[in-house]
């Protein structure tokens, strides 16, 4: 489908600078802009590309100031990145949705399947499973006994959901993710071996949760591991048993959260963050990449980094000192030598 710059501006509530009649039918990155496509600029690091881009239409923030002539038609909006997200969502919603149940899928007679569901070949749906309306289950998904899926849930190929888990509405789980596997619970014995502790709880994903490929959310020992509404989890993330992740928290790749830790609302965990078990993390906490968190964070809305986690400004100052340690060591050795020489002269 083609849209004019004017139609796009009207939809976004933006202001046009250039030809309102130019049309676009696809998207492109600003550094690879092609005629007939729409691109966007929100990060100043990419400003240089806007002057050479061949994209027909470019979304920019209203406060963007051009340093030289731009050939493309600009649409000025409050937030170019959010506006792009709106357009991409609109296009995604226009794609045809598959429906129907493949004869190559196994579905228990006791399962309840909602309207307009799509169940691909080689999907397994266990006993007493409940699946809501407009659910899409791609090939090789496994939904074990007693699990509940809400409406508009998408499970991409190879997703595994263990028994008695609860998935809310509008959740998306990407390929290879596992929900409800056993928590890491083992009790030491007198002979030095470990005895497995049965994990009898489940996992609850509230509405609007998205989980990336090959991420794992373990079931609780007792009770529930809970991922609250609006949480977004990247690929390759480990969420241990009895963890609770607060509403609208985002977690980047290779992060690990140990058992029974509770995260507040709207936290941000960058890549490779590690949290010890049984912690409480205040609302609005931001952890920089590779931060190690051995103790609870009680003060909300802090940005922390390093191991152990410290306020970001403290970490940055310490990093400067760390970088200069070799020179500081030389200075100390030199001063020590001079002190020894003075002491010898005094003797």
At 293-329, the pLDDT tens digits run 999 999 999 999 999 999 999 999 988 888 888 888 8
Six token digits for residue 111:
């399962």
pLDDT, average across residues 112-135: 97
Per-residue pLDDT band at 165 (split at 50, 70, 90): very high
| 47: enclosing H helix or E strand | helix 47-50
Task: Write out the E strands in 116-201.
Answer: 118-119, 124-125, 130-131, 136-137, 142-143, 148-149, 154-155, 160-161, 166-167, 172-173, 178-181, 186-188, 194-196
* CA distances, 215 to each of 26, 115, 179, 235, 333 (Å): 31, 29, 8, 5, 50
At 39-93, the pLDDT tens digits run 999 999 999 999 999 999 999 999 999 999 999 999 999 999 999 999 998 888 8
pLDDT for residue 181: 97
**Helix pair 80-94, 5-12: axis angle to 10 deg:** 110
pLDDT, average across residues 9-36: 95
pLDDT for residue 192: 94
End-to-end CA distance of the chain, in Å? 93
| pLDDT top residue among 341 and 120 | 120
pLDDT for residue 152: 96
**pLDDT greater than 90 at residue 277:** yes
Task: Give me the phi and psi of 11, to 5 degrees please.
Answer: -65, -40
* CA distances, 317 to each of 180, 271, 322 (Å): 42, 21, 9
Among 55, 49, 63, 67, residue whose Cα is nearest residue 18: 55
**Percent of the chain scored above 70 by pLDDT?**
100
**pLDDT greater than 90 at residue 109:** yes
**pLDDT greater than 80 at residue 1:** no
Q: Which one-letter DSSP state was computed for residue 305?
A: E
pLDDT for residue 341: 86
At 173-229, the pLDDT tens digits run 999 999 999 999 999 999 999 999 999 999 999 999 999 999 999 999 999 999 999
**pLDDT greater than 90 at residue 27:** yes
Question: Which residue of the set 140, 241, 278, 280 is catalytic?
Answer: 241
To the query of whether residue 278 is one of the catalytic residues in this protein, the response is: no
d(CA 219, CA 154): 20
* Domain segments of the chain as ranges: 3-94, 100-314, 321-346
Is domain 3-94 annotated with CATH 3.40.1390.10? yes
Rg from Cα positions in the chain? 27
Rounded to 5 degrees, what angle do the CA atoms 301, 210, 279 make? 40
How many C-beta atoms surround the C-beta of residue 323 within 10 A?
Answer: 10
d(CA 125, CA 146): 10
**pLDDT greater than 80 at residue 347:** no
| pLDDT top residue among 150 and 340 | 150
Q: Which one-letter DSSP state was computed for residue 53?
A: -
Classify domain 100-314 by CATH number: 2.160.10.10
Is residue 130 classed exposed, middle or buried when 0-12, 13-18 and 19+ CB atoms within 10 A define those classes? middle
pLDDT, average across residues 164-171: 98
pLDDT for residue 323: 87
**Percent of the chain scored above 90 by pLDDT?**
88
Mean of per-residue pLDDT scores for the chain: 95
Contact 275, 293 (CB under 8 A): yes
d(CA 30, CA 227): 35
pLDDT for residue 92: 85
């Amino acid at each position: 489908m083609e849209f004019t710059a004017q139609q796009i501006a009207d939809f976004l509530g933006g202001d046009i600078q250039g030809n309102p009649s130019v049309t676009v039918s696809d998207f492109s990155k600003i550094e690879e802009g092609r005629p007939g496509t729409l691109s966007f600029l929100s990060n100043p690091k990419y400003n240089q590309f806007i002057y050479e881009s061949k994209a027909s239409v470019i979304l920019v923030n209203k406060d963007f100031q051009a340093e030289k002539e731009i050939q493309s038609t600009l649409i000025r909006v409050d937030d170019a990145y959010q506006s792009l997200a709106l357009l991409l969502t609109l296009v995604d919603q226009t794609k045809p949705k598959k429906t129907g149940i493949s004869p190559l899928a196994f579905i228990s007679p006791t399962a309840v399947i909602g309207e307009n569901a799509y169940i691909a070949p080689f999907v397994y749906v266990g006993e007493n499973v409940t699946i809501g309306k407009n659910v899409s289950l791609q090939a090789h998904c496994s939904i074990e006994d007693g699990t509940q899926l809400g409406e508009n849930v998408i499970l991409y190929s190879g997703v595994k959901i263990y028994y008695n888990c609860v998935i809310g509405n509008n959740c998306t789980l990407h390929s290879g993710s596992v929900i409800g596997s056993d928590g890491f619970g083992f009790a030491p014995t007198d002979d030095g071996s470990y005895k497995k502790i049965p994990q009898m709880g489940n996992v609850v994903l509230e509405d609007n949760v998205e989980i990336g490929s090959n991420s794992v959310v373990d079931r609780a020992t007792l009770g529930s591991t809970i991922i609250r509404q609006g949480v977004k989890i990247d690929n390759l993330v480990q969420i241990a048993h009895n963890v609770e992740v607060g509403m609208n928290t985002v977690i980047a790749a290779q992060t690990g959260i140990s058992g029974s830790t509770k995260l507040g609302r709207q936290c941000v965990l960058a890549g490779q963050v590690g949290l010890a078990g049984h912690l409480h993390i205040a609302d609005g906490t931001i952890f920089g990449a590779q931060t190690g968190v051995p103790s609870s964070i009680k003060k909300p809305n802090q940005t922390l980094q390093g191991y152990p986690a410290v306020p970001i400004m403290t970490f940055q100052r310490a990093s400067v000192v760390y970088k200069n340690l070799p020179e500081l060591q030389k200075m100390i050795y030199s001063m020590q030598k001079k002190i020894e020489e003075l002491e010898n002269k005094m003797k």
